[in-house]
Amino acid sequence: MNTEALTLDKLSHGVDAKIVEVSDSSYACTLLTMGILPNVKISVLRSSPFGQALYVKVGNNYIALRKEESKSITVVPVTE
Amino acid sequence: MGKQQSDINIALIGNPNSGKSTLFNVLTGLSQQIGNFPGVTVDKKVGKLTLDDGSTVNLVDFPGLYSVYPNSSDERLVVEILCNPESDDSPDLVIYVADSNQLEKHLLLATQLIDLGMPIIFVANMADVSVAKNRILDIDLLSKNLGVPVVSLSARNAENIESLTSQISHWISEPSAFTHGKLTYKLSSADLKSCEEVRKYLTEDNDYRAKVIAHHSQWLSLLEAGDRIPLVAGLDAINFGNVRSQVDETLQRFSVIEPLVKRVQKFDNTIQSKSEKLDNILTHRVFGPMIFFAIMLFVFQAIYTWSEWPMTMIEDSFVYLGELSRSIFPKGWIADLVADGILAGLGGVFVFIPQILILFFLIGILEELGYMSRVVFMFDGLLRRFGLNGRSIVALISSSACAIPAIMSTRTISNWKERLITIMVTPFISCSARIPVYTVLVGFVVPSGSWLGFNYKGLAFMGLYLLGIFAALFAGWVFKQIIQPGGQSFLMIELPSYKPPRWRNVLIDTFEKVMTFIIEAGKIILLVSILLWLLASYGPGDSLARVEPAVMSQVENGDIPSDQADNVIAGRKLEASYIGIIGKTIEPVMRPLGYDWKMSIAVLTSFAAREVFIGTMATLYSLGDAEEESSIRDKMEAEINPITGGKRYDTATALSLLLFYVFAMQCMSTLAVTKRETKSWKWPIIQFTFMTAIAYLAALLAYQLFS
């Protein structure tokens, strides 16, 4: 399994990953406050019906993000 | 305390979804008042909280906030107040509300408030859920680590509220015990330099507050205009990295918070979320939108079926009140003003309460359940193509009842451009006031009968709704190309687990929305109704006085049946009045759309509010007080076009009128709210012009093609 770091928008659906970092952007703080923190478990459950948005599980919470918002999140897939 | 207790202001602050409003409702009951914070259009909910000794304090429910680095205008307001302890809105005590199941996230803002030196009581809310989930919170340990009192309670079940009120009493008697929270964030040397810059213009003792002010120096209104420019330049000169510093601070806070939560709260992590399973279906690519449309279908079905009898009841009561006022006041202008001006105007507002109430009640339930955030997620991608945001869907649905609360609901959209476009296009959605007009006119366009079991008229109705939706999306797309981008656009929305609705919240929320409609729409409709009544009751010279003798002589000649005399007089008087003159003046403009002077008057009077069309038609067709839709229809049906000799309301004319009502901006109240929410006359003027222009063109096209 590929364990190289990639941005969240590239992560396959249903694959567990760990957050590495959130890059600087005007919404970086909001992402952090929504629980997108380094070392937290993250996975993408599905895309929205009209595309462009992702249904994301972070830790034990669920949030919706746009694809471009998810590009500022770097993750590493977790191999079990 | 130097202050009188009744002057004490306590703020409820917390993240969205922390149960803050539920706690506010529990603490204050119905003693709530809604005002505005000075200078901004953010609702300020204030209530009175009665303490054990019978004294009362003011409780203010602040808009939800994630951190002192805000995204939306509502959030900015809170930060503005927190940055300015001198402000009148600055609270004496903060009750910080956190969800005990989300402690990590919710502690972030709490530590920021403590660093700002605010006196705080920390409320660990939703204790009932955390107990059910086997999470045990060590309140004393948390309190020791934060350095502020901690109370665990359940606002939803109103459990343990007294431990909070007794802490408040404790604070009143011993305020100094509450101001020594432990600082979490250590300012970096870059931060300290930024503080020095800020202190050149403001006296600010608290380092952390100075840093926050440095971050927001671009927009904080506590900075005088003359100070802002040199401060921003000074911060640039020392390379104050705005975003980096915010991110570093947030990460440092979480590095303290994470281990803290592990120490104070033990929990069992194995429970798989039922919400996740539900969402496999509810937000599914195909089923998700289908389920949403099915729910909307049910909602609208409910609005029409449930509102029928209360609407009839309200109409009947206003007819009764009109008759009553005529019997109380002597015949003359006072009686006319009360019955035809004031009561008619009020009736026009109150009759829509049932529909608006049912819609907001049902949306309130969906919101409380947690479903609306899923809808925002599902439709964000689609709506963005039309310059809107996923959050616009709430406004679009609401405006099918009334555009006024809908426009006010756009405050949750953080991006100015998306919010503005939502405000601009929302009035295209067919609101309750258009329904009576559609009801009367649709029959002239489509025959009775059905197709595949669907009633033709029902289908035509649906077509008119869809037309409104398409117009809104199209206009959004056009605005998207024209309007300058207004900063970063966000979706980033929490998808909280599904919860049974808290009825108290749904009811209070519905009540507030309905009151907004009554007050905002009511005051303007009332004013315009009185104005219209004046224009319709008076004419130049003695032109109105001459109508009655002329008609009476025709009655004596047998040209007019005597039982019709009063109605004919009313119609002729209207024709001779100022409004009749205006109608005839604008007739040439309306002629290409197929409207005669009577319809022109009805279109004009509809600018008070669309449903006035029916009342005007009733008067014009000399129906007196019989405002029965079916009888108006019969009269209109029988009307002959003097030019063609055919029916006056042929397909082309009725279609032209229908299209005009779908598109035209005929609601002064909405324009007033647009003005208030955009803080400029520019946008309501543009809104009025482009909507009415589209209406005119569509009506023109329809009439010219079909006549």
pLDDT score of A47: 92
Q: Which residues on chain A are in Cβ contact (under 8 Å) with B496? A: 62
| pLDDT for res B643 | 67
Who wins on pLDDT, B384 or B326?
A: B384
- B89 and B209 share one domain: no
Span B698-707, mean pLDDT?
Answer: 91
Summarised one tens digit per residue, pLDDT across range A35-71 is 888 888 999 999 999 888 999 999 888 999 999 889 9
CB B623 within 8 A of CB B631: yes
CA nearest to A40 within chain B: B258
Return the higher-pLDDT residue of B543 and B356: B356
Residues B145, B205 share a domain: no
Tell me B520's DSSP state: I
Phi/psi for B666 (5° steps) reads -115, 45
Residues B163 and B198 in one domain: no
Chain B residues with CB-CB distance to A49 below 8 A: 283-286, 288-289, 378-379, 381-382
B550 vs B73, more confident: B550
Of the candidates A45, A57, A63, which has its C-beta nearest B493's C-beta?
Answer: A63
| pLDDT given for residue B625 in this prediction | 47
Give me the residue spans of the domains in chain A.
6-77
Nearest CA among B61, B66, B180 for reference residue B118: B180
Query: For the structural domain made of A6-77, what CATH number should be given?
Result: 2.30.30.90
Helix, strand or coil, per DSSP, at residue B157: coil
Are B104 and A57 inside 8 Å of each other by CB? no
- Binned at pLDDT 50, 70 and 90, residue B500 comes out as confident
| Inter-CA distances, B706 with B112, B216, B501, B642, Å | 66, 59, 51, 18
* Greater pLDDT, B282 or B347: B282
- Name the DSSP letter for residue B231: H
DSSP string, A19-45: EEEE---TTHHHHHHTT--TT-EEEEE
What SS3 state is found at A54? strand
Q: What is the pLDDT of residues B5-63, one digit of tens each?
A: 568 899 999 998 788 888 998 888 766 666 655 555 566 788 888 888 888 899 999 98
Test B492 with A66 for CB contact under 8 angstroms. yes
Inform me whether the pLDDT recorded for B707 exceeds 90: no
Of A16 and B275, the structure prediction assigns the larger pLDDT to: A16
Mean pLDDT of B317-322: 88
Instruction: For B501-512, give one letter per residue: b (16+ CB within 10 A) or e.
Output: ebebbbebbbbb
Task: Tell whether A52 lies on the interface with B, counting CB pairs under 8 A.
Answer: yes
Residues B251, A37: C-beta atoms closer than 8 Å: yes
B564 at interface of A, judged by CB pairs closer than 8 A: no
B532 pLDDT more than 90: no
| In the predicted structure, residue B477 carries a pLDDT above the cut 90 | yes
pLDDT bin (cut points 50, 70, 90) of residue B344 is confident
Q: Is residue B428 part of a domain?
A: no
Please tell me the total count of domains within chain B: 2
Write down the residue that tokens 């600010």 correspond to: B204
Q: Residue B64 falls within a domain, yes or no?
A: yes
B282 found inside a domain = no
* Cβ-defined contact of B381 to A48 (cutoff 8 Å): yes
Collect all residues of chain A within an 8 Å Cβ-Cβ radius of residue B414.
none
**Residue spans of alpha helices (H) in B329-415:** 333-336, 344-350, 353-369, 371-384, 392-398, 403-408
pLDDT band of B131, cuts 50, 70, 90: low
pLDDT in tens, B609-625: 787 787 777 666 654 44
Given a cut of 70, whether residue B457 has pLDDT beyond it is yes
Give me the phi and psi of B34, to 5 degrees please: -110, 125
What amino acid is encoded at B442 in this protein? V
- Model confidence band, residue A76 (pLDDT cutoffs 50, 70, 90): very high
Contact yes or no for A60 and B273 at CB 8 A: yes
Asked whether residue B57 falls in the same domain as residue B154, the answer is yes
Pick the more confident residue, B457 or B146: B146
CB-neighbour burial class of residue B295 (10 A; exposed 0-12, middle 13-18, buried 19+): middle
If we measure between CA atoms, which residue out of B74, B69, B80 comes closest to residue B221? Answer: B80
Residue B270 binned pLDDT confidence (cut-offs 50, 70, 90): very low
CA distances from B30 to B52, B507, B513 (A): 18, 11, 15
| B116 within a domain of the structure (yes/no) | yes
Same domain, B193 and B172: no
Assigned domain for B68 exists: yes
| Single-letter amino acid, residue B644 | T
* pLDDT for residue B267: 65
A33 to chain B, closest Cα gap in Å: 6
Residues B653-671 have a mean pLDDT of 91
Which of B273, B284, B380 lies at the smallest CB-CB distance from A53? B380
Distance (Å, whole) CA B348 – CA B507:
24
Say whether both B165 and B232 belong to one domain. no
Counting Cβ atoms within 10 Å, is residue A20 exposed (0-12), middle (13-18) or buried (19+)? Answer: middle
Contact with chain B for residue A40, Cβ under 8 A: no
Count of H helices and E strands in chain A? 2, 6
Tell me how far the alpha carbon of residue B632 is from its chain's centroid.
34
What are the pLDDT digits (tens) for B209-260? 999 999 998 888 888 888 888 988 888 888 887 778 888 898 899 889 988 9
Which of residues B152, B178, B204 is at a domain's end? B178
Nearest to A30 among B66, B378, B384 (CB): B66
Of the candidates B149, B150, B140, B141, the residue with the CA atom closest to the CA atom of residue B180: B149
Closest-CA residue of chain A to B487? A26
Nearest CA in chain B to A62: B495
Q: Of the candidates B157, B178, B199, which is a domain's last residue?
A: B178
For chain B, what percent of residues have pLDDT higher than 70?
92
Of B242, B266, B290, which residue is a domain's last?
A: B266
**Residues B10, B128: one domain?**
yes
In a domain, B54, yes or no: yes
Residues B75 and B209 in one domain: no
Q: Which residue of chain A is at minimal alpha-carbon distance from B246?
A: A29
Q: Which of A21, A24, A33, A58 to mutate to test the interface with B (most CBs of B within 10 A)?
A: A33
Taking the Cβ of residue B493 and every Cβ of chain A, the question of whether any pair is shorter than 8 Å is answered with yes
Summarised one tens digit per residue, pLDDT across range B395-439 is: 999 898 889 889 988 877 878 899 999 999 999 999 988 888 888
The whole domain housing B157 covers 5-178
Instruction: Examine the domain organization and report whether B120 and B55 are in the same domain.
Output: yes
Domain check: are B13 and B90 in the same one?
Answer: yes
Inter-chain CB proximity B378 and A49 less than 8 Å: yes
Enumerate residues 6+ apart whose C-beta is below 8 A from B584: B597, B600
Nearest CA in chain B to A56: B495
Same domain, B47 and B170: yes
In a domain, B705, yes or no: no
Same domain for B38 and B157, yes or no, is yes
pLDDT of residue B478: 95
CB atoms within 10 A of CB B161: 17
Q: pTM value? A: 0.79
Whether B542 maps to a domain, the answer reads no
Instruction: Report the pLDDT averaged over residues B659-683.
Output: 90
Residue B129 clears pLDDT 80, i.e. is over it: no
